[in-house]
Structure 1
């Protein structure tokens, strides 16, 4: 599998990774999916402390035990659970980041994290304080690089200007092209990589999965018509969609999720598909919507 440098960091990531949010909470099936992904050449595995209240990190940690040197491990921080209360609160403080990383390390069964990401970010945050936390962890060797997971242009611009982030995880697919207008060019110019999440739009762009509801900017019938037109370009919609997310030079890795081994294999097969031609990209953009961000300016 092709590997790309993540920003200006030393991390070399497989162009197709594994987003672990949809793995579920059972150890055996989650382990099978992660092991198969590694066997097929995936080295970038992304989780978060938020997923299933930490259970996801535990499953990932158990699955990569004995395989740690084969994995670029990414997790996230910022959503703090309060004991005895439902849900969580947002906390991007330095004190919390430094405390939460220890808990993630314990759940993941490792003594370092390759990519530690702020799981969101608000313009009202004390951004300098958050950056201080990540820089301290990097200097201490607890993390190798850091980034943010955000679709807020105003937050992204602040971190680009003020930090040494290696990456921005951003929702990017044929049906969610909001990042193309302002975010992707900025990150490309700044040598910061994009981790494209949702390349299949929660299955809306997956082969053999008929959508039952619309997605961002598309009513159900519009989505069905788009799928039909896309399949005229390539009948394997899954692979076409993943290759589109990888077609922008700012994108280093796309991270589709997988609930089954079959879905995983379909996703990873996109690595064997040639890069889209400029003509194919133009056709996809002509039949899809160039939606843009309207909030968080």
Structure 2
């Protein structure tokens, strides 16, 4: 059974790529037409303009009558974000924007190490007991920190993490070695974000300046992280090799990346792929790629060979 798909909303809002309610409504309709219903949001989306994506979801009443299932992430990327007061302020405003009383998954988007994890976990458990969410999620935490939360939950009878969002794609396979075995041990689903490496597989060429305002513009929140993760000579070489073998079969890099993740990676039942887009045509193409089957053996062999050559410098999403 193929892994689930989850539609990302990090480009949604007046200051994102999907700037109007009308355009976003059409995207949701397209996504639903492929039999999908899960949506991923966050306080910070779109980057630099918190709340805009959640507002769009609320205006469209996306979660009404169960048509879509919404996950979101707390305000996290600043010191003090995970104090009790800050968490309550964040979740109260987020639920109000989404126009719901509860969501499926509430995430800690990134660690706030200025606050004890036990104190943060206690507040998350309170919110769970109050019925604000169904599942507790984490993202961008270190391996030992995930274990700490899981074991504290077992010890105290608190809500345990049951979903983890992490970077996973053809050139970012480090989760396979240590992270995934731990997630399996603690019954935590893995949701893979950036399956296309934010456009690195198709829109970026060696020596080419990134487009202003794009996913690799170093002056933007996302661009700085993406450059630090992917702008390495060995990764550019890997993508060039992938393009060569794909050309032999008429399969572009993005199709290779998505089909590998759904059919050949270590994702399994209960896991999911987060699908991104900057326009509706791109989403339609990606959804079509994801409907396609497994890859030719030769391409899979090249992917494995590439990984052996780059794994020491491959990116990973730990903050």
Q: What TM-score does the superposition give when structure 2 sets the normalisation length?
A: 0.76
Report what 2:252 is aligned to: 236
Q: Distance in 2 between matches of 1:168 and 1:126?
A: 20
Pick from 93, 118, 121: which aligns with 1:131? 121
Pick from 160, 164, 189: which aligns with 1:168? 164
- The answer to whether structure 1 residue 19 and structure 2 residue 40 are counterparts is no
Q: Which runs of 5+ in 2 are unaligned?
A: 154-159, 211-226
Between the two proteins, the alignment pairs up a number of residues equal to: 277
Q: Distance in 1 between matches of 2:252 and 2:130?
A: 45
Q: Distance in 2 between matches of 1:295 and 1:221?
A: 19
Taking the TM superposition and a 5 Å limit, the aligned residue runs for 1:31-180 are 31-51=25-45, 52-65=49-62, 67-79=64-76, 89-123=79-113, 125-163=115-153, 164-180=160-176
Q: Residues 137 and 281 (structure 1 numbering): CA distance in 2 closer, same or farther, change over 3 Å?
A: farther
Q: Which runs of 5+ in 1 are unaligned?
A: 5-14, 81-87
Q: Residues 140 and 295 (structure 1 numbering): CA distance in 2 closer, same or farther, change over 3 Å?
A: closer
Q: Distance in 1 between matches of 2:245 and 2:64?
A: 38
Report what 2:230 is aligned to: 216
Cα offset for 1:124?
5.2
Report what 1:290 is aligned to: 311
Q: Distance in 2 between matches of 1:245 and 1:123?
A: 32
Contact preservation (8 Å) 2:76, 2:108: no
Cα offset for 1:60?
1.8
Q: Distance in 2 between matches of 1:139 and 1:96?
A: 18
Contact preservation (8 Å) 1:147, 1:165: yes
**Cα-to-partner distance string for 1:190-248 (whole Å, 9 max, x where unaligned):** 22111101000011124xx4544675263374254133245146613223212333321
Q: Secondary structure at the match of 1:196?
A: strand
**Cα-to-partner distance string for 1:29-66 (whole Å, 9 max, x where unaligned):** 22221232122222111111112221111012223447
Q: Residues 221 and 236 (structure 1 numbering): CA distance in 2 closer, same or farther, change over 3 Å?
A: closer
Cα offset for 1:281?
4.1
**Cα-to-partner distance string for 1:49-100 (whole Å, 9 max, x where unaligned):** 11222111101222344745022211001337xxxxxxx5451123322332
Q: What TM-score does the superposition give when structure 1 sets the normalisation length?
A: 0.81
Contact preservation (8 Å) 1:199, 1:255: yes
